[in-house]
Amino acid sequence: MIEWVKKVFGAPTSSSTAKERLRLVLMTDHLALAPEIIENMKRDLVDVISRYVEVDRDKVEVNFEREDRALAMLANIPIVSVNRPSPPPEPAKPAPTASHSGPPPRRRRRKKPPTQNPAAAH
């Protein structure tokens, strides 16, 4: 009876819950298994933001968090100075990344970050 009521009022079936959990868990798995993608994404993200403000590249943190029904990317990018180093380049011009031949991509395991605001300015 309770099940019938739930069904009528559109409570999710357990198989749709399973489907949703599966979707999220696989997104997380695939991200964890592709550290080089995360490193590339982090580099590009910092490159874009650096066009407008000066950031502390060494302290950039990118994390992924599972919320109830979604996966969120949290980036903590400390801003050193808002004085633009130079006028922003023409929009949508892909920045050459040759200058960024820093250390080889580190393997990053997902870890729980300390509570922080996304893209919080320091």
Partner 1 sequence: MHQHLLRQAQDDKGQESVAAPAAKLGRAIVVTSGKGGVGKTTTTANLGTALAARGARVALIDADVGLRNLDIVLGLESRVKYHVLDVLEDKVSLDEALVPDKHSPTLVLLAAAQSREKDEVDTEKMRALVQGLRERYDYVLIDCPAGIELGFKNAVVGADEAIVVCTPEVSAVRDVDRVVGLLGNRFKPQLIINRLRPQLVKKGKMLSVEDVNAILRLPLLGVIADEPEIIITTNKGEPLALRHDSETASAYHAIAARIAGEDVPAPSPELKESFIDKLGSLFGGKRA
Residue 34's identity, in one-letter code, is A
Q: Which is nearer to partner 1, 14 or 86 (CB)?
A: 14
Residue selected from 8, 14, 68, 70 as contacting partner 1 according to rule CB under 8 A: 14
Spell out the SS3 assignment of 57-81.
HHHCEEEEEECCCCEEEEEECCEEE
Residue selected from 5, 8, 9, 15 as contacting partner 1 according to rule CB under 8 A: 15
Query: DSSP label at 49?
Result: H
Q: Which stretch binds partner 1 (CB under 8 A): 14-22, 76-84, 86-94, 105-113?
A: 14-22
- The DSSP string of 1-47 is -HHHHHHHTTPPPHHHHHHHHHHHHHHHHHHHT-HHHHHHHHHHHHH
Q: Which is nearer to partner 1, 32 or 80 (CB)?
A: 32
Does 66 contact partner 1 by CB under 8 A?
Answer: no
Cβ atoms of 95 and 16 closer than 8 Å? no
Q: Which of residues 18-37 bind partner 1 (CB under 8 A)?
A: 18-19, 21-23, 25-26, 29, 33
Site size for partner 1 (CB under 8 A): 14
